[in-house]
Structure 1
Amino acid sequence: MTEDNQKDRLITQLLRDTLSNKIGWSVVEPPRTMVHATDNYVPLYLETNFNNTRLGIYELRFRHFSDYDEYYWSETLGICIVQNQDIVVWKVEEYSPALRELFDLARERASGLGGLLNF
């Protein structure tokens, strides 16, 4: 099975488990290795525990250079596996509709919006 197939299956399963409330997502600080010694910016990092593995999904903003000193900010989404003390052992950073759907759903669940009006 290719890595793309595995990634797609993982995202699909995470979507299913999030929709059925089998897993929850939390807003946490991104792993140190993702944000130090880089110009990239991670405005939101969400994490869950899936099958005893720490998984993160995040939004990544980065500079896209169009010339030597001209750039514009671009963004993409990422998914990663984190082990030990914030060591990212696997990650994929790309735009995909399924990853966007998972990120939006996880952000909504982590925000507590669903329970905000339940007094």
Structure 2
Amino acid sequence: MDPEKVIQRLLKQTQQGEINWTRVSAESRFPYLTQATNDVVDVVFTAEVNGRNLALYEERYKAYTDEDSFYWTARRCMDVVSPKGEKLWQFPTSAYLNDLLDAAAYKSADVPNILMDLMGD
């Protein structure tokens, strides 16, 4: 199956509330993302889908324009991980990962209830 179609399906299921994403610390749960690297990953969203564990995150890294000149940029990634938090496979880059990460953050933060609470309804 095409990984892009899988990501699209995960996005749709997340938006419909069929997948629950949990926000966790990258450092404590997924050390492979933070150890022995200059890249920065703060937060990871995790979900179990059909018996498979997924880790969804934004990775910030230095893009060098010269030996001493760089700027920070980011990419969004999704990995299939073991129950111990070890990376088994990384999905190819996809524009849909941006939307999936935004949807996972929105759902895990319970934004609709936050907005209702702020409105006092």
State the match for 1:24 in structure 2.
Answer: 20
Distance 2:100 2:92 in 1: 14
In the TM superposition, residue 93 of structure 1 has moved relative to its aligned partner by 6.0
Distance 2:19 2:103 in 1: 12
User: Counterparts in 2 of 1:41-60, with a 5 A limit?
Assistant: 41-60=40-59
Contact 1:76 1:93 in 2 (8 A): no
Cα separation, 1, equivalents of 2:112 and 2:80: 27
> 2: distance between equivalents of 1:105 and 1:24?
10
**Unaligned 5+ runs, structure 1:** none
**RMSD of aligned residue pairs (Cα, Å):** 1.6
State the AA in 2 paired with 1:69. D
Whether the 8 Å contact between 1:46 and 1:58 is mirrored in structure 2 is yes
For 2:91 and 2:73, locate their aligned partners in 1 and report how far apart those are by CA, in whole Å.
16
User: Is residue 10 from structure 1 mapped to residue 9 from structure 2 by the alignment?
Assistant: no
Query: What's the CA shift string for 1:27-70, capped at 9, x where partnerless?
Result: 01221111111000013311111011110111110011111111
SS at match of 1:72: strand
Q: How does 1:1-119 map to 2 (within 5 A)?
A: 5=2, 7-30=3-26, 31-92=30-91, 94=93, 96-116=94-114, 117=116
Which moves more between the two structures, 15-24 or 73-82? Answer: 15-24
Q: How many residues end up aligned between the 2 structures?
A: 114
Query: Aligned letter for 1:115?
Result: N
| Alpha-carbon separation, structure 1, partners of 2:9 and 2:58 | 20
